Amino acid sequence: MDRESMEYDVVIVGAGPSGLSAAIKLKQLDPQITVCVLEKGSEVGAHILSGAVLEPRAMEELFPDWEERGAPLNVKVTRDTFLYYLSKKWAVRLPSFLIPKPTHNHGNYIVSMANVCRWLAEQAEALEVDIYPGFAASEIVFHADGSVKGVATGDMGISQEGDRKESYAQGMELHAQYTLFAEGCRGHLGKQLIKKYALDQSADPQHYGIGIKEIWDIPESQHDEGLVIHGFGWPLRESSSGGGAFLYHAENSQVYVGLIADLNYSNPHMSPFDEFQRWKHHPQTLKYLQGGSRVAYGARAVIKGGLNSLPKMHFPGGLLIGCDAGTLNALKIKGNHTAMKSGLIAAEV
């Protein structure tokens, strides 16, 4: 049975920073272009693991008046600290002259990326971008010549056994002149495209990490709004694992705390989650969390191969953008501004 279809000029898969930036820029360049954004989460931001330090360059390019518009960049970085953890009790602060300049956070903001994406979605809808939350793109639709025609959403109303229930509804195809894939790290459609078009044949193998993050409410007396702490060494060093940890003091007496462990660790008994718990009990971390309460948590894959692992991002009928391609800047420990910039460039080309 043929699926119903809808026609757009551009279809974007994923309402993250790259996808929404591309949608907004497209409408800014040509208000007559029809743009659709599919988002698998129940709402925009539902699958964004909140808490990041955002470099505002791409936001300033997209909206030079972002402050007047009320973009949720509310906490400017006031202090930037790097700690080398020697053991479970000791850590030393590295002097700033030893820290690579690109990692400095002067002029950056501590943000909830979920809130930033919700705000971007509001700006996109004001420009008449169609955003469909709750609809995951399940497969790629191709033209007879092998170029990308669009995507199809998944069927709904399927039982655990794979049978159709009374509520069954067939998925819909969305066709476009160009389809942008902004699924995030290890997007399942993006991986299919990289393989089909051999987009990574001239790139180094990609590298991944696992990022674990929590949001804590902490006592006001222990809160230092605008403080950014990055650390490395213990406990990951004990298992010969790469990676590091972070703690960001956001607004409303909240902190974003997390650990990223490279997935190429050689010790099969190493548990990134358990290492994260150990790090939270280090005196330099515990002094902020003591007496607080965890209010949210999550984990996700992190792409960290860098420029040498970046695949070719264009293919017949579309583009890979954001972490679907691997635009995260591992040295800066940031990927949101590069994801947004990739969306802007995709819209312009």
Domain locations in the chain as residue ranges: 1-72+112-206+305-349, 75-107+208-303
Q: Look at residue 225 in the predicted model and tell me its pLDDT.
A: 98
Per the CB < 8 A criterion, the answer to whether 186 and 301 are in contact is yes
Place of tokens 């509520």: 167
Three-state DSSP state, 220: helix
Q: What is the pLDDT of residue 11?
A: 99
C-alpha 194, offset from chain centre: 19
Which helix (DSSP H) or strand (DSSP E) does residue 27 occupy? helix 17-29
Domain at 1-72+112-206+305-349, CATH class: alpha beta
- CATH for 75-107+208-303 is 3.30.9.90
Percent residues over pLDDT 70 in the chain: 99
Q: What is the pLDDT of residue 167?
A: 83
Q: Quickly list DSSP for 102-170.
A: GG--TT-EEE-HHHHHHHHHHHHHHTT-EEEET--EEEEEE-TTS-EEEEEEPPEEE-TTS-EEEEEE-
Q: Determine the pLDDT at residue 1.
A: 56
Do 228 and 53 contact (CB within 8 A), yes or no?
A: yes
**Rounded CA separation 278/273 (Å):** 9
Tokens of 319: 């583009």
Below-50 pLDDT ranges, the chain: none
